[in-house]
């Protein structure tokens, strides 16, 4: 794991002039669109370091500029290969923009890049300090389901669940605040050693798992309250 921000993809060899180039989208020698590497770095697509704080207006402006340069309409008279590359670049740019403009998606993506978060790793165990509240919530959900099937009174049960939903929504907001704090710690740790970065990534991972669990609780309650 590097201890400095990554700003570009590795040097590429241009398919047209066969020269090595540090360009992200266009060859710095002949100006042709480049073949994107198989594992595209979304931060590098926007020529940004792997930081978690991003100025949104700057990201949007960069997106609009690149979208215009890479748009397939600009390559209607180009070769078939260049037209395909334009579509590929535009598609990847759109995916990158959707990911990086979302604070939570940005954290998940960065941890994936750093090898700290693998697909399917999300833990669905209740945090120890929430066990009692989760147990009570599940009891209330079971009671509501039974009342629905038997035609019982739903008013009091729904009121209890609405209160529980507000409680967990507040906990979700607290986790998001903690994520923002940890994200700032990550950016500061980029100039530090690998052990410090690993510690911050572990914290980010824990917060993402906690957020995922609480979000699923909220979603389940909302479904039952419909």
Using CA atoms, how far apart are residues 217 and 165, in angstroms rounded to an integer? 8
Residue 2 pLDDT > 50: no
Residue 83 pLDDT > 90: yes
Tell me the per-residue pLDDT of 129-157, one tens digit each, with 9 for 90 and over: 889 999 999 999 999 999 888 887 889 98
Q: Is the torsion defined by CA of 9, 15, 18, 19 positive or negative?
A: negative
Whole-number pLDDT of residue 1: 42
Residue 8 pLDDT > 70: no
SS3 at position 33 = strand
Yes or no: is domain 12-101 CATH 1.10.287.110? yes
Lowest mean pLDDT among 9-13, 67-71, 94-98, 207-211: 9-13
36 against 101, higher pLDDT: 101
Taking the C-alpha atoms of 13, 19, 23 and 26 in order, what is their torsion angle to the nearest 10 degrees?
Answer: -90
Whole-number pLDDT of residue 109: 95
User: What's the pLDDT band for 5 if we cut at 50, 70, 90?
Assistant: very low
Tell me the per-residue pLDDT of 113-126, one tens digit each, with 9 for 90 and over: 988 875 455 556 77
Residue 35 CB neighbour total at 10 angstroms: 17
Tell me the per-residue pLDDT of 25-39, one tens digit each, with 9 for 90 and over: 999 899 999 998 888
Whole-number pLDDT of residue 141: 92
User: How much is the pTM?
Assistant: 0.84
Using CA atoms, how far apart are residues 112 and 11, in angstroms rounded to an integer? 22
Whole-number pLDDT of residue 124: 65
> Cβ(179)–Cβ(107) under 8 Å?
yes
Q: Where are the domains of the chain?
A: 12-101, 128-225
Tell me the per-residue pLDDT of 48-62, one tens digit each, with 9 for 90 and over: 999 999 999 999 999
Residue 21 pLDDT > 50: yes
Mean residue pLDDT across the chain: 89
């Amino acid at each position: 794991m590097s201890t400095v921000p990554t700003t570009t993809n590795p040097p590429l060899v241009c398919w047209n002039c066969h020269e090595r180039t540090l360009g992200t989208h266009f060859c710095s020698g002949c100006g042709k669109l480049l073949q994107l590497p198989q594992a595209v770095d979304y931060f590098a697509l926007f020529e940004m370091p792997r930081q978690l704080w991003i100025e949104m207006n700057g990201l949007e402006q960069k997106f609009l500029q690149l979208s215009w340069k890479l748009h397939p309409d600009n390559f209607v008279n180009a070769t078939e290969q260049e037209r395909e590359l334009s579509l590929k670049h535009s598609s990847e740019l759109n995916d990158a923009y959707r990911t990086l403009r979302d604070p939570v998606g940005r954290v998940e993506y960065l941890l994936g890049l750093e090898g700290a978060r693998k697909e399917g790793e999300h833990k669905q165990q209740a945090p120890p300090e929430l066990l009692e509240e989760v147990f009570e919530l599940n009891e209330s959900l079971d009671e509501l389901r039974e009342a629905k099937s038997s035609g019982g009174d739903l008013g009091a049960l729904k009121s209890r669940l609405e209160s529980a939903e507000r409680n967990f929504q507040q906990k979700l907001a607290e986790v998001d605040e903690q994520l923002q704090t940890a994200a700032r710690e990550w950016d500061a740790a980029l100039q530090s050693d690998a052990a410090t970065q690993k510690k911050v990534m572990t914290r980010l991972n824990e917060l993402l798992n906690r957020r995922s669990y609480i979000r699923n609780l909220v979603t389940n309650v909302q479904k039952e309250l419909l």
